[in-house]
Amino acid sequence: MDKQLDVLQGTLDMLILKAVSLGPLHGYGILLRIQQISKDRLEIQQGSLYPALYRLEHQGWITSEWGESENNRKAKYYRLTAAGKRRLQSEAEKWNRMAEVIAGILHTTPEEV
Amino acid sequence: MTLLSRFRSWLRAIVRRSRMESEMDTELRFHIEAFAEDLVRSGVPREEALWRARIEFGGVERAKEECRDARGANFLESLIQDLRFGLRMLRKNPGFTSVAVLTLALGIAVNTAVFTAFDALVLRPRPVKDPDSLVAVFRTTPGDARGRFSYPDYVYLRDHSKSFSDLSLFAFGMALTSSDLPPTGPEAISRLAGTVGFQLPQLLPGGAQPIGCYFVSGNYFQMLGAVPLHGRLLLPEDDLLSSPPVAVLSGNFWQRQFHSDPKVVGSILHLNGVAFTIIGVTPVDYMGTLPNVPSLWAPVAGKVQVGGLSAGDLENRLLIAGMPMGRLRHGVSLSDAQAELDVLAAQLRTAHPEDERNAGIALLPGRNDAAVLEPTEWALVAAAMSAVGLLLLIACANVASLLLARAAVRGKETAVRLAIGASRGRLLRQLLTESVLIALFAGAFGLPLAGWLLHLLIVEIASALPSAWGTIALKVSPDIRIFLYALLVSGCAGVAFGLAPALQASKPNVNSALKDESTAFGVRLSRSRLRGALIAGQMAACLVLLISSALLLRGSQRALTLDVGYEPQRVLYLEMYSPANLHYPQARMLQINRDLIHGIAGLPSVRSVAQASRGPIGGIRWVPVAPVDAAASGSTAQGNQTTGAGYSYVTSNYFDTLGIPILRGRVFTPSEAEGQAPVVVISEATARRFWPDEDAIGKRLKIGLEKGTMFFPGQKDPFVPSSEVIGIARDVRSMDLRRIDESYIYLPLSLTRQWTGTLLVRTDGDPRQLLPATGREVHAIDANLPVVGSPLYSMISMDPFFVVSRVGGLLASIVGALGLLLACMGVYGMVSYTVAQRTHEIGIRMALGAHGGQILQLVVREGFRPILGGIVVGILLSAGVSRLMAATLFGLSSLDVVSFFGVSVLLGGIALVATVLPARRATRVDPMVALRYE
């Protein structure tokens, strides 16, 4: 699995929510965190990250505040809200169900039909 | 909760715009710099790191834009941006903008004006209490579905029907005020009225003035729930012959004649010399159930009191007294009431088999005049509406083709915007914004224009009517509904004509447009086809309008050339309002009449003065006529020879004065006339009818019935048991301009015994010139005598058929001319655009040896193709339309070659000029310049 996968349509939001659920992060940090926990197997278009962040904040699932970065620079940190937590949960459940179904379909052998 | 937070974030984004922008900037910069630092740490040289970080990040501006979108901050922002950009584009092309805006404004204005007028005249509920429960009641007989009622029939229905809480009656009328009231001044002929040849008989100066009265039953105002401005309104007890005469002034008459003096209530107003007490004043512009405001309202009994009816007339079942209108009792439906009145109609038929045979009763909703309009009237209304609708269609098609051409010109701009990342939706929105802007501007111009048109129309019509007819009190101020209508029309038009070009414009392939490929040979087919269809559609619509107007105008022209059987050109028609109303003794009336004839005959340029109980035009009088000699009828198979004939008592010089030739026999001698000898002159058609194969001279006719029936108030039917036919006069069209009179007889008039109100004066010059001198003569003889006068030819052209044709033709030609102007602008625009677009191709052709003439031919042929198509379609449509019109209007021929051919050639010629002018530019293309253009 050396080839990087593009993030599936619609899953970026879920990944962001997951990333910030582990602790407040700035935008670049979120990118790094996703790459890190996916063991660099996911490729995220950097330009599309921020619109997604703004959208999630607009929907009230994350909030932001200004803070200091590791190298003492001003950075905007995102944090999961209670609503965001619920949202992440339901998204994750939905994803798992979906993955199960798809996997089931793909594993079907001719004898089972 | 989330909604609230979302709203807050949106609000923040909008309100704290600059802060959000700078924060976004900081955030993205931080990202790129942190990324760059990580790259440096991983060994990339510092100067390369930042550059690589930027590349990896992608378009910063695009990301920002998407962030703004995500916040919803962009909606307002981009709207404002679109508007600003749209306004700039419109300002940059003032020619295009003004043409598009004016075109649409015109279409909107005309539509709004016509819609408003129609609404005010027909659709608007009557301005009375609960108009929905009002019901108009008509007496139906075969051939007349909208008949009115006699007084006894009305009383019977009023007293016996249970369906109505009130059943009222109203009738039009005229009364003379004495000359102690200041006259309202001479009637001005309005410009509009003059244009369409609408000239009502003029009241000659001097004399008492006739004023319009509405005679209504005593319960009328109660039924309508009217509230007086001053005093009180009429009550049932006022409507008794024994009650003292009372009248209610209309607010308009009160303002005009009494200068709004409230003390007028209780004072006396003389009508036809009878003292009426003014008991109240209605509010200004109060119309009741009628289309206009009268001068005053009086009870039906008042009509007897002023002498308009005799007391016996109120008992006469054959005498039409007025039109009833009722208010349904609560809970009674129209069909319930209809069922009940059907029973009452049957009772009337049984009780009065002579008078009520075949008569029925029809109820129609009375909330407005829509239900009362007859099918032919609806057809006219629909035609007018379609014509103006067509104009709006032409305007929209025109603007659409303008936009289409422009969208093509802007193809490059569009492609550039698509290339730098504008989404198609965004682009569509921009183009639509521009279209809607045009539509809104057009609406903004169109609304006042519509108000002005309406005002012009109504003020002009109102000023064309004599004040005696009452006041037209239509509200012409643009109200909110009209405004919304204009806005809706302009908005829909904007979206409709904006969408097609916008869709087209946002489609082009970025690459081809950037390379300006559209100027090469491949002219996009679909686009030019759509434009061609638009042009053809406009042409067809114009042609329909113009051919219709030509047919209508040529039809109305026939009024002047129509052979009516006499010579109307040099005859002045004078009508005296019956001095019976002035309560003069008979001898004095006759003396005045003879003095008048003598006086007018003495005026210079007057050839002769004839008198008749009825002139060759106007109200009709019928009398039953039958040949006396039974043997004479033996040759015809008909058993009952009695037939109705039109008649007039005339002086012996009547035939000379009007130029009606006597074909056989002779006219009465003066002594026969004076003595009212039993002699009669009959029309050719009458002679043919009774004695088809014989000479009618010397035969005898029985005229009238022993038991004189009275069809008309104040007019005694003639009765001559046996009258000798002494002459046969040429047939005329006097009762219905569409055909010669089926039977008409002329009886001798005695100037010493009979008073009649109509004078016919033959002059050597223009009869109109004679009016002032005649007025002075009338005034010198009796200052209280009101006389109206009009040339006979203008009375013929006032015939409703001709008026409808003329007004319709005028409107259609105005609308058609506007449409033609618009369509020509469209053609011109399209051809100049094609030439501009094909400069390159033309350059190549010329470089290869084509000369100017060939190029011109090429461009004109292509430009003219849709026009030709439109003309063909237009002719076919017109053929259908004209057939419809000819079926309803008199004097039109449905396949008038002159109209069809002439208008088509004219239209084609104008369109050809509009094609050739811009096409000539193509011949001036310099091949070198054109080829180097890229």
Quote the minimal CA–CA distance from B20 to chain A in Å. 11
Predicted local distance difference test score (pLDDT) of residue B461: 64
- Out of A46, A54, A83, whose CB is closest to B58? A46
pLDDT beyond 80 at B503: no
Chain B within 8 Å of A37 (Cβ-Cβ)? no
The structure tokens listed for B169 are 């009656």
Residue with the bigger pLDDT between B717 and B684: it is B684
Best residue in B10, B35, B67, B69 for a mutation probing chain A (most A CBs within 10 Å): B67
Chain B within 8 Å of A87 (Cβ-Cβ)? no
Segment B509-532 mean pLDDT: 53
- Out of A27, A59, A69, whose CB is closest to B2? A59
Domain boundaries, chain B: 2-71, 73-124+374-515, 131-193+203-367, 523-564+793-934, 571-792
CA dihedral B844, B847, B851, B852 (to 10 degrees): 60
Banded pLDDT at B154 (limits 50, 70, 90): very high
- Out of A55, A60, A75, whose CB is closest to B30? A75
Buried b (16+ CB within 10 A) or exposed e, A52-82: bbbbbbbbbbbbbeeeeeeeeeebbbbebbe
Query: What residues of B are in the A interface, CB distance below 8 Å?
Result: 1-2, 5-6, 9-10, 23-24, 26-28, 30-31, 33-35, 37, 56-60, 62-64, 66-67, 69-72
**Residue B546: which of B400, B407, B394 has the closest Cα?**
B394
Out of B14-18, B273-277, B502-506, B539-543, least confident range: B502-506
Banded pLDDT at B285 (limits 50, 70, 90): confident
C-alpha angle with apex B571: B568 to B572, nearest 5 degrees? 125
Contact B31 A60 (CB under 8 A): no
Quote the minimal CA–CA distance from A33 to chain B in Å. 13
B647/B734 Cα distance (integer angstroms): 10
Segment B307-313 mean pLDDT: 71
Contacts of B9 in chain A (CB under 8 A): 57-58, 60
Segment A7-24 mean pLDDT: 83
Residue type, B910: I
**Residue B145: which of B379, B380, B373 has the closest Cα?**
B373
The string of pLDDT tens digits covering residues A57-83 is: 888 889 888 888 877 888 889 999 988
Strands (E), B705-820: 720-729, 744-748, 758-763, 787-791
Q: Give me the phi and psi of B187, to 5 degrees please.
A: -75, 125
pLDDT beyond 80 at B139: yes
B88/B694 Cα distance (integer angstroms): 88
Sign of CA dihedral B787, B790, B792, B794: negative
Chain B within 8 Å of A43 (Cβ-Cβ)? no
Quote the minimal CA–CA distance from B869 to chain A in Å. 52
Question: Measured in whole angstroms, how far is the alpha carbon of residue B318 from the centre of its chain?
Answer: 34
CA dihedral B30, B31, B34, B37 (to 10 degrees): -110
Task: Look over chain B and give the mean of its residue pLDDT values, rounded to a whole number.
Answer: 78
- Out of A26, A59, A76, whose CB is closest to B23? A76
Cα-based distances in Å from B923 to B572, B834, B867, B913, B928 = 63, 13, 21, 16, 13
Instruction: Answer whether B211's CB lies under 8 Å from B175's CB.
Output: yes
Quote the minimal CA–CA distance from A41 to chain B in Å. 17
pLDDT beyond 90 at B281: yes
pTM tops 0.90? no
Instruction: Answer whether B134's CB lies under 8 Å from B128's CB.
Output: yes
Predicted local distance difference test score (pLDDT) of residue B635: 44
Domains and CATH numbers, chain A: 5-112 (1.10.10.10)
The string of pLDDT tens digits covering residues B722-781 is: 889 999 999 988 887 777 888 899 999 888 888 787 899 999 988 888 888 888 888 888
Banded pLDDT at B75 (limits 50, 70, 90): low
Contact B5 A45 (CB under 8 A): no
The string of pLDDT tens digits covering residues B356-413 is: 777 889 888 888 877 777 776 777 777 777 777 777 777 777 777 777 667 666 666 7
Instruction: Answer whether B320's CB lies under 8 Å from B150's CB.
Output: yes
Residue type, B175: A
Contact A60 B5 (CB under 8 A): yes
Contact A28 B30 (CB under 8 A): yes
Instruction: Answer whether B323's CB lies under 8 Å from B144's CB.
Output: no
Contact B62 A55 (CB under 8 A): no
Give the three-state DSSP class for B233.
coil
Quote the minimal CA–CA distance from B430 to chain A in Å. 23
